[in-house]
Amino acid sequence: MRKNILFAIVLPLSLAMAGCGGVTTHTINLQDNNENNSEATEQEKGDVEKAIEASDFPWYFPEEAKNEGLAEGQAVLSIHSFYPSKLEESNDPANETYIFYNATLKSIGEKSSVVSSMGQDIEMPNALIIPILQGQKAKKGDIVLTWWQSGSGMERAIVTDDSNPSSPKVSYLDMEWKDDGKGFANEHNNEQLRPNTFVVLKNNEWQPGAQIVVTGDGSYKIYTYICASDKYVLALGFAGKIVSLYRDACKIVPLNQDLNVGDEVMGNFVGSFRTGYTINKIDKKIGRVWVTNSFGSPEILSILDVYKEE
């Protein structure tokens, strides 16, 4: 077991500490919006300390937790290209940057499974493997979880052409769109997905790839859902940082928000939703919203990066 273990519970008023430095190999980053449980009990702290000491998993999260639908031979998304080396070499793997790439699931175990990529078999914790369910079909306007198929890396995308529902064309939402046509999203617009390489996301459902926001402490930090247990959510945040969150402190950003020109909304600013954005234009086909921010500057955001709080 590596040394220099730092135990930290990030409470509602100290969310900013979650990304702070320091030598550590295991970190728990938790927020809780329950007013009756705003501070961790001594018993909970003790349980967390024991769990961290006993595990090589960098985040306080049940390592055996896995997403539904894992099946041998299917495509998956995982951080297999980074995780093994950073776990071995980094003094603080919980605060490293991670990217989810596509691989093939070779075998499934109780706590970990083997993914195959570029001729290599890599054992990964189940909690860090996202299944790409087979046989999915999408219709125009659906938002799907996939990867950049002419490149690499996990992407959310909106279906622009459903002539072949098993192999739709999409516009990537996690790439930048520019009015001059030179954005990455513009250049790869209407890219066709191969069959069995995407999952249709459903409105307000806890699925890998869903956009979630921490509202329990008023921070409105934005994350991409990876996996969950009854109490905790493992999520990917700004700059590729993975954290463990209290599930009750999070909300899902709806896929079908009632957005209209002239609406005052919150917009994504370096990984958090901020107020002061006004909608000027909406293009539902490509999933983009033109806004003016609080400084009077124009921006183009994806529909996942706009939040109209109910």
In this structure, is residue 273 part of a structural domain? yes
In this structure, is residue 299 part of a structural domain? yes
In this structure, is residue 2 part of a structural domain? no
pLDDT digits (tens, 9 = 90+) for 152-179: 899 999 999 999 999 999 999 999 999 9
Number of domains composing the chain: 3
Top-confidence residue, 143 or 37: 143
pLDDT digits (tens, 9 = 90+) for 27-46: 345 444 333 333 455 555 55
In this structure, is residue 179 part of a structural domain? yes
pLDDT mean over 195-221:
95
Nearest to 208 by CA among 136, 148, 146: 146
- Same structural domain for residues 233 and 273? no
Residue 74 structure tokens: 């299917």
In this structure, is residue 91 part of a structural domain? no
pLDDT tier for residue 2 given thresholds of 50, 70 and 90 = very low
pLDDT mean over 293-310:
94
pLDDT digits (tens, 9 = 90+) for 218-274: 899 999 999 999 999 999 999 999 999 999 999 999 999 999 999 999 999 999 999
What mean pLDDT value characterizes the chain?
A: 86
Domain carrying residue 187: 143-195
In this structure, is residue 170 part of a structural domain? yes
Q: Do the beta carbons of residue 65 and residue 125 sit within 8 Å?
A: no
Which pTM was predicted?
0.85
**Quick one: pLDDT at residue 37?**
39
